[in-house]
A = this chain, B = another copy of it.
Amino acid sequence: MTAASADRAARLLAELDGAGDVVVDPDLLASYRSDQAAPGLLPAGMPAAVARPRTTAEVQEAVRAAARHGVPVVPRGAGSGLAGGANAIDGCLVISTERMTDVVAVDAPSLLATVQPGLVNARLGEAARAEGLWYAPDPASYEFSTIGGNIATNAGGLCCVKYGVTRDALLGLEVVLADGRALRIGRRTRKGVAGYDLVSLICGSEGTLAIVTEATVRLLPPPRSSATLAASFANLGDAGRAIARITRETTPAVLELMDRTTIRAVEQMAPQGLDQEIAVLVFARSDLGGAASLDEVDRIAGWCEQEGATLAVTTDEEAEGRMLMAARRLAYSALERQGATLLDDVGVPLGKIPALLEGIEQIAERHEVLIGTFGHAGDGNMHPTVVYDHRDEDAVARARAAFAAIVALTLELGGTIAGEHGVGLLKHGLLAGELGEAHELHRAIKRALDPAGLLNPGKAI
């Protein structure tokens, strides 16, 4: 920290009275330095303070104090992000939403819930369930990530192939702008075209345009009884054609895959008799309800078999379905047991999934690294995970090179460098390769909303 920024920080601290509980203890501050992204590989500064407001007014006070002294503000939810979007900057003010956990209201007749941003995704799910309703977005982190964090990254999940991502569930927001103003944007209606779609603009902006202090989301009728499919393929080509066939014929509630490396890692962690020679496992679920669910996964099984699946199993028993999906749920934990991991989050057009999987195999060979790939086959969003030995400098370098090669391949295939985890710091340097000339348009909007550049600088764009 420079002397000037230390001085700014000291003056900031004197003015945080109205900003809720304020942390200045160095040990505690250290726990707010970073999120869960690529531990040790991304910069993570030491905050001057962490404000833990309970109300919108306290967020406003915190932002105003920071603005007066030119101190950067880093908003933070559960700190479970995977791109470094919540990593601190030396001398910054972290505004943590951890105490803003209220379910403000559930309006069951209108299928709406209004919540504070620090509420954990699963808690919103429970509040909806208590009214016989359902909150659809289900990032893998749903048991600990917050709605505010889900909004900041526009989080996806397994259900989003059929039910949409966080943005699709989001109707209205209360936000605090960089100058401390609090505003309501969006609406409480399912549809609406009055004014620009500022809710979508804020969603996914990683705290660089505004801080979300309240969110109104749409709830849905709960899905009906489900059926499940698991199918194995001896090679990538067959699996790729099967996925292409499925996505052209129907939109299942879940459509996932995992590759050989991931299958082997899962089998090592929790042996369940998976054939370790198969190249790809594909998983699908249908929630059309009753006999229609089994009918849908049976049709999917038929297409898989026509495209060369070595085995396709379906069930409408919930317990058996959970067992079929168990391997997919263990994918990332199993890969993490193999070494340090660099978890990627690329997306390609549906038709390019086979090319992506084949390219990743070649990259693994070329860079002599282990890459396990799993992800959302139904929307082309894949999580190739580079596994490496973090004590071996050469292995670290090869892992980074493989990671960069995957991103380059994705862009070649017309894809995106970030499907659902965010850009944060992890992908920040790669963004220009995707945005091209439109990058300047992003900056123009950032300048319009945050002229002093105080909100989460250096992230997202």
**Footprint of B on A, CB under 8 Å?**
107-112, 132-133, 153-154, 156, 160-161, 164-165, 167-168, 177, 181, 183-185, 187-198, 200-201, 203-205, 209, 220-221, 244, 247-251, 288-292, 295, 347-352, 376, 378-381, 414-423, 427, 431, 434-439, 441-442, 444-445, 447-449, 460-461
Contacts and interface: CB of A to CB of B under 8 A. Distances in A.
11 contacts: A109-B349, A109-B350, A109-B351, A110-B350, A191-B376, A192-B347, A193-B421, A194-B434, A195-B438, A196-B205, A221-B247
Interface centre among A200, A220, A244 (most CB of B within 10 A): A200
Most buried by B among A184, A188, A189: A189
A195 B435 contact: yes
A203 B192 contact: no
A190 B380 contact: yes
A414 to B, nearest CB: 5
Contact of A381 (B190, B347, B421): B190
B416 A192 contact: yes
A415 B186 CA distance: 11
Contacts of A110: 349-352, 380
Contacts of A194: 416-418, 423, 427, 431, 434-435
Contacts of A380: 110, 189-191
A113 to B, nearest CB: 12
A165 B133 CA distance: 22
Contacts of A201: 196-198, 200-201, 445
Contacts of A445: 196, 198, 201, 445, 448-449
Given A201-B200, A447-B448, A193 B422 contact: yes
Contacts of A438: 183-185, 195, 198
Contacts of A381: 189-191
Nearest to A163: B251
Contact of A133 (B248, B292, B439): B248
Nearest to A345: B193
Contacts of A190: 161, 347, 350, 378-381
Nearest to A433: B194
Contact of A191 (B183, B209, B419): B419
A183 B221 contact: no
A188 B414 contact: yes
A248 to B, nearest CB: 6
A198 B209 CA distance: 13
B187 A107 contact: no
Contacts of A177: 441
Contacts of A290: 292, 295
A310 to B, nearest CB: 23
A295 B295 CA distance: 14
Nearest to A152: B193
B422 A195 contact: no
